[in-house]
Amino acid sequence: MALGAAAISDAEAPLLDDTVEGSIDFKGRPVSRSKSGGWKSASFIIGVEVAERFAYYGISSNLISYLTGPLGQSTATAAENVNVWSGTASLLPLLGGFLADSFLGRYRMIIVASVLYILGLGCLSLSALIYSFDSSDSPPQLQIVLFFFSLYIVALAQGGHKPCVQAFGADQFDEQHPEECKAKSSFFNWWYFSFCAGVMVTLAVLNYIQDNLSWGLGFGIPCIVMCLALIVFLLGTNAYRFRLHSDERNPFLRISRVFVRAARNWQTTTSVISMEAENQGILPYEGFQQYKFLNKALVAPNGSKQVGEVCSITDIEEAKAFLRLVPIWATCLVYALVFSQSSTLFTKQGVTMDRYITPTFQIPAATLQSVISLSIVIFIPVYDRILVPIARAISGKPSGISMLQRIGTGIFLSSLSMVIAALVERKRLQTAIQYGLVDMPKATVPMSVWWLTPQYLLFGVSDVFTMVGLQEFFYDQVPSELRSIGLALYLSIFGIGSFISSFLISVIEKATGGPGRDSWFSNNLNRAHLDYFYWLLAGLMVPLRSADEAYPERLDILSTIEDLDKQEGDYDEFELLDSPYCESGRGNKVLVNVDAFGAVGDGVSDDTQAFVNAWKEACSTPKSVLLVPEERRYLVNATRFKGPCADKIVVQIDGTIVAPDDPKNWDPKNPRVWLGFYNLSRAVFQGNGVIDGSGSKWWAASCKRNKSNALTIGSSSAVRVKGLTIQNSQQMNFVITRSDSVRVTGVKVSAPEDSPNTDGIHITESTNVVLQNCKIGTGDDCISIVNGSSTIKMNNIYCGPGHGISIGSLGKNNSTGIVEMIELDTAFLRGTTNGLRIKTWQGGSGYVRSVRYQNVRMEDVSNPIIIDQFYCDSPKNCKNQTSAVAISQIMYLNISGTSRTQKAIKFACSDTVPCTDIILNNVDLQSKNGTVETYCNSASGFYFGYVHPSAECLSSSDKDMTISQEKEAEVTESSREYLVHTEL
């Protein structure tokens, strides 16, 4: 059995385009996409799962009837035994998942578990045969011992089989291939559909055999089915794909090591941790403070300097990711408590009711559990083919609704099923009283068993939401190497839930029973009160639903961005009187009209001096409004409007301000600036007017020196810009420089796609800047953020055409560049040459850190996600240098769209100053023509949730790796030119 990687010759290797990266076959060879994996191999595994569920539910579904029948146990004792066994069976997958992920592998674990299944089921059949040959009233001790021994062998087998077979099935789909990725998104739905079909057959056929023919035969058939399942599984061996993992360390031990190291350093102080984090270049973020006791694993014990004595930040974040699952795991325990009733108390209810379909045919009570499976089989196609597309159209999410929304919906439906169960049980008790059957426990209550159908039906629908949602959540939220453990955690919910159910029943039995009193779980169900128990469970589900809604689905570890919305109240809205020529405003505002100072507004006459004089008047007058009237064009030359002004000046631009269209007419005293406003505080620029830079002749000129920026806000604070249109600038359209607390809302910026260097909004040396509801299309960056800028928040941005949204360039001519605390939330980019870009020159210093991009959609973008530390905007190749601007703590959350190029994600980072702590969550980038891939050079971090193309190269030890293609050659001096990028 060669499951490790093996060296092969070129002749033996499949063609590259058909090779599945990151997977091998049974003999350790690269696998061909056309000959392995996908639904072809998954069908073998699904078939095995159907057989295993047939066998398992063939035992569990009717177990309470066997315990209260042939073994003669009371209802409460039997229910407790069933819950303890079910709980153990659901906890053992933790052991099975650990053994599979750490030692045996999923394939071998499935084989071992199948053999244990056959052994346990065979012994179980033998124990039932002992009963059939024994004529005594009480079962022999040998039968009881053999029965429970066999029962727990089956539980052990289920513990090894269940977590591995589902994860192994999901492994058959390549996340980096568009078609297989789509197939994988439906895998969990159809997986649950198939296994419920098997369960439905079990409940319809096997329970009848057990109740009416023979328990020995009823236990023997599952044994035969598991023998056939093992054969089917082995037949598919040559078609299976086996995952390779980039990290050779045992994944479970890697995470466990974090807890051990943290425990050994329990006395380490916060200051020591902070110092060590700073030494390693780890900067504070919200996730760093969460479960901060694990951060002690960063520190070497007893002052040791050995690298192996400390844990990496990636390992620590993986450990924290597991801890973040605990709230969901804990809140779902009550759901598991409810789940356990469907195979115990629901069944006992049915035993007392009229189960005759015809005068001569009576269905087993446990068979009614098939209604759950039937509702699942019917509803999953409805959910997958109808509800998901509708939800997807509304939410824009590939899955329609989030995993936690799906889980929460199922929890709500299961609580309704408990309410229905309580009402039906109350009806059954009233019927028993009405017909005088209270003291006749074995009499049939004249009430059809089909009254139980609604609670079973609703419970099945809730399963489609909660069970499948939990499976997907716990598979999705753990590292790929630990997905067996992840699914085992999901199963352990039902294990602990069963133990809680057993404990709760025991406590209630003692509390409500006693001399002269019938407990809620009396052997005489006509005197019991299962309805009270159902109401209790329904009540427990209410806080569970609330807790589930409160749990944050996104693990935002970079939420250090300051809340800037508090600035909104600093500004007063102002509306002008109807006449644009009035010289006094409404209330206490003073209106200063540029026309009153000699402005002509014909677009030909020079109105520069009129604007200067009007500005001086407005600036010196408290609460003034400088008006540029509508339906007029004012030709204004380069001018610097300076403050400070008296108080709260408003510049109301309703007309059009145009620049001289010929470079020859430009004032040489004011290069680089056309309309510049400086040293202002609490100023407002608003209106529906246009600032037109008349840049066409400048763009065509061979000499591009001293081109002016259209609008500049400099050395100012608490400035608001709202509703303006800025277009056709000679160079940058809108510059914010050396300013603080600037809010830009509803601004439109436009310039032709081929206009050079016409950045839309350019931010430099500024802090606390908010850009929201802006539409930008230019010949350069839609938004550019450069040195000295921090706490920049962008929301609801449209970009295109242009070069995307950029941080940089930084570090040119060996300079220092610093940018931090940047957030982009909700943006749409169309047809841009870059998407989300960070660009730095070689040889610089400083850092870019704490950047979060979230909720971004890109359409036909050439480089959707790119970090480029080899930026070179020069006709000549740039010299290779070892120093670089450090880039860290960059998060991409909910990013989707289409890429025009194959490398949809590119992290081209410096070998000497690598990019660190890059985090991706819920990224889905596709290509209309072929596949997409991720390129990494000296980039580290981690990803979780759905990420396409895969970002496994972030955690790889290889300095230069492209995922989903063959590895790039080692970067040498001659090949380094590949990493030097020029402006697009």
For residue range 203-239, what is the model confidence (pLDDT) as tens digits? 677 777 877 788 888 888 889 989 998 998 888 888 8
Nearest to residue 729, comparing CAs of 764, 686, 699, 774?
A: 699
Lowest mean pLDDT among 134-148, 452-466, 516-530, 567-581: 567-581
For residue range 447-486, what is the model confidence (pLDDT) as tens digits? 888 888 888 888 888 888 887 777 777 766 666 566 666 6
Lowest mean pLDDT among 494-498, 544-548, 730-734: 544-548
Lowest mean pLDDT among 225-234, 433-442, 816-825, 840-849: 433-442
Q: How confident is the model at residue 925 (pLDDT cuts 50, 70, 90)?
A: very high
Q: How confident is the model at residue 21 (pLDDT cuts 50, 70, 90)?
A: low
Share of the chain above pLDDT 90, in %: 25
Query: Which sequence spans correspond to the domains of the chain?
Result: 37-245+325-550, 556-758, 781-984
**Which carries the bigger pLDDT value, residue 806 or residue 842?**
806
Share of the chain above pLDDT 70, in %: 79
Spatial distance between the Cα atoms of 964 and 174, rounded to a whole number of angstroms: 9
Task: Give the per-residue pLDDT at 103.
Answer: 76
Q: How confident is the model at residue 574 (pLDDT cuts 50, 70, 90)?
A: very low
Q: Is the pLDDT of residue 247 over 50?
A: no
Q: Among all chains, which residue has been given the structure tokens 């000679």?
A: 730
Task: Give the per-residue pLDDT at 602.
Answer: 93
Q: Is the pLDDT of residue 28 over 80?
A: no
- 37-245+325-550 architecture in CATH? Up-down Bundle (1.20)
Highest mean pLDDT: which of 12-16, 49-53, 317-321, 888-892? 888-892
What mean pLDDT do residues 96-120 have? Answer: 84
Lowest mean pLDDT among 18-27, 144-153, 456-465: 18-27
User: Residue 913, SS3?
Assistant: coil
For residue range 500-520, what is the model confidence (pLDDT) as tens digits? 877 888 888 888 877 777 888
Spatial distance between the Cα atoms of 886 and 917, rounded to a whole number of angstroms: 11
Q: Is the pLDDT of residue 593 over 70?
A: yes
Q: Is the pLDDT of residue 399 over 90?
A: no
Nearest to residue 872, comparing CAs of 943, 915, 812?
A: 812
Task: Give the per-residue pLDDT at 463.
Answer: 81
Q: Is the pLDDT of residue 715 over 60?
A: yes
Q: Supply φ then ψ for residue 60, to 5 degrees.
A: -70, -35
Q: Among all chains, which residue has been given the structure tokens 């630990």?
A: 482
Task: Give the per-residue pLDDT at 632.
Answer: 93
Q: How confident is the model at residue 775 (pLDDT cuts 50, 70, 90)?
A: very high
| Terminal Cα-to-Cα distance of the chain (whole angstroms) | 51
Strand ranges (E), 649-733: 650-653, 656-658, 673-678, 684-686, 690-692, 709-714, 717-722, 725-727
* Crossing angle (nearest 10°) for helices 453-476 and 483-512: 140
Q: Are 454 and 425 in contact (CB under 8 A)?
A: no
- Residue 477's alpha-carbon distances to 472, 482, 956, in angstroms, are 8, 10, 19
Q: Is the pLDDT of residue 366 over 70?
A: no
Q: Which CATH class is domain 781-984?
A: mainly beta
Task: Give the per-residue pLDDT at 547.
Answer: 46
Q: Are 456 and 375 in contact (CB under 8 A)?
A: yes
Q: Is the pLDDT of residue 60 over 60?
A: yes
For residue range 617-658, what is the model confidence (pLDDT) as tens digits? 999 988 899 999 999 999 999 899 999 998 789 999 999 999
For residue range 305-362, what is the model confidence (pLDDT) as tens digits? 454 567 776 677 777 777 777 877 887 887 887 777 776 777 777 888 888 887 777 7
pTM score, two decimals? 0.48
Q: Are 764 and 709 in contact (CB under 8 A)?
A: no
Q: Is the pLDDT of residue 853 over 90?
A: yes
Strand ranges (E), 497-654: 590-593, 602-606, 624-628, 633-635, 639-642, 650-653
- Partners of 19 in the beta sheet? 32
Q: Among all chains, which residue has been given the structure tokens 């962008």?
A: 794
Tally Cβ neighbours within 10 Å of residue 546. Answer: 12
Task: Give the per-residue pLDDT at 137.
Answer: 60
Strands 445-448 and 602-606: unpaired
Phi-psi region of 938 (alpha: psi -120 to 50; beta: other; left: phi over 0): left
What mean pLDDT do residues 843-869 have? Answer: 92
Q: How confident is the model at residue 958 (pLDDT cuts 50, 70, 90)?
A: very low
Helix (H) or strand (E) holding 845: strand 845-861
Q: Is the pLDDT of residue 677 over 50?
A: yes
- Residues 6 or more apart from 683 whose CB is under 8 A from it? 643, 645, 648, 649, 650, 651, 677, 716, 718, 719, 720
Highest mean pLDDT: which of 71-85, 137-151, 917-931? 917-931
Task: Give the per-residue pLDDT at 335.
Answer: 81
- Residues 6 or more apart from 464 whose CB is under 8 A from it? 192, 376, 379, 380, 383, 410
Q: Are 403 and 472 in contact (CB under 8 A)?
A: yes
Q: How confident is the model at residue 8 (pLDDT cuts 50, 70, 90)?
A: very low
* Same-fold call for 556-758 versus 781-984: yes
Task: Give the per-residue pLDDT at 378.
Answer: 82
Task: Give the per-residue pLDDT at 726.
Answer: 96
Residue 597 per-residue DSSP state: G
What mean pLDDT do residues 167-193 have? Answer: 69
Joined tokens for residue 916 = 């660190």
Q: Is the pLDDT of residue 284 over 60?
A: no
SS3 content of the chain, % helix, strand, coil (to 5): 45, 25, 30
What mean pLDDT do residues 815-837 have? Answer: 92
For residue range 694-706, what is the model confidence (pLDDT) as tens digits? 888 878 775 555 6
Lowest mean pLDDT among 36-45, 268-277, 407-416, 550-559: 550-559
Nearest to residue 291, comparing CAs of 262, 264, 250?
A: 262
- Residue 391's alpha-carbon distances to 352, 384, 415, in angstroms, are 43, 10, 23
Lowest mean pLDDT among 5-9, 681-685, 845-849, 902-906: 5-9
Q: How confident is the model at residue 838 (pLDDT cuts 50, 70, 90)?
A: very high
Q: Is the pLDDT of residue 55 over 80?
A: yes
Mean pLDDT estimate for the chain: 78
Task: Give the per-residue pLDDT at 187.
Answer: 73
Spatial distance between the Cα atoms of 484 and 478, rounded to a whole number of angstroms: 9
The CATH superfamily holding the domain 556-758 is Single-stranded right-handed beta-helix, Pectin lyase-like (2.160.20.10)
Per-residue HEC secondary structure of 431-464 comes to HHHHCCCCCCCCCCEEEEHHHHHHHHHHHHHHHH
Q: Is the pLDDT of residue 768 over 70?
A: yes
Residues serving a catalytic function are 803
Q: Are 750 and 693 in contact (CB under 8 A)?
A: no
What mean pLDDT do residues 697-716 have? Answer: 79
Task: Give the per-residue pLDDT at 411.
Answer: 83
Spatial distance between the Cα atoms of 687 and 655, rounded to a whole number of angstroms: 9
